[in-house]
Each structure stands twice: as C-alpha cells, then as structure tokens.
C-alpha cells in the first residue's frame, strides 16, 4: 500500500491534468478554445457531434481540473482557457516525456 504523501504535488497535478485530457472530446475542446483569441461565446454543442448532456460532462471535467474557466451553465455561455493552469499542464506533461 502506498502512503498518500508518497507522490509530489507536481506528480498529483500532472495526473489530474492527464486524466482531464483522457478523452478525445476534451482534447478537441481545449484545442478549439486555445485557438480563440478570447473567450468562446456560443453553443459548443454545434461544434461537436455529441449530446449536450455529454458535452456538459466533458466541460465539467475540464473545469474541475482547472483547465477551463467561465460560466458553463445556460443561458449565459462563455468558455475560456485558464491560461495559468493550461501553461502549467503543458510544462508538467512535457516533463513526463523528457
């Protein structure tokens, strides 16, 4: 059995970000948002061929991981990359593959 404090904060964060990226829809969402100069306003369900409820679950996972921010509940819909955590995730994931 592994003690809870065996892993570093960096390792735990890396795993959390990797989990959030563990589905192609979430990767596609991040790519869409990252390509935007500012926040994305609109119905993201029109961008992806999945049910709105499924999309909501993917957005929730990305928000819980801290990779996106904003209001993801109708009627006001706004999605943004959380730049600080997005850059942290890139840095941490790059370290894994060095």
Specify the pLDDT at position 28: 95
Phi/psi at 77 (5° precision): -120, 120
Assess whether pLDDT exceeds 70 at residue 91: yes
Distance CA 34, CA 57 (A): 19
Distance CA 59, CA 26 (A): 7
Specify the pLDDT at position 36: 85
- pLDDT tens, position by position, 1-26: 456 678 999 999 999 999 999 999 99
Q: Which domains does the chain have, with CATH numbers?
A: 12-96 (1.10.10.10)
Residue 51 CB burial class (10 angstroms; 0-12, 13-18, ≥19): exposed
- pLDDT tens, position by position, 41-74: 777 888 888 888 899 899 999 999 999 998 766 6
């Amino acid at each position: 059995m592994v003690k809870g404090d065996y892993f570093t904060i960096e390792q735990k964060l890396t795993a959390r970000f990797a989990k959030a990226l563990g589905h192609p829809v979430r990767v596609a969402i991040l790519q869409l948002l990252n390509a935007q100069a500012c926040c994305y306003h609109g119905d993201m369900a029109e961008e992806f061929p999945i049910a709105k409820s499924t999309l909501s679950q993917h957005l929730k996972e990305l928000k819980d991981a801290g990779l996106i921010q904003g209001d993801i509940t109708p009627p006001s819909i706004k999605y943004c990359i959380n730049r600080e955590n997005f850059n942290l995730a890139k840095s941490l994931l790059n370290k894994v593959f060095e």
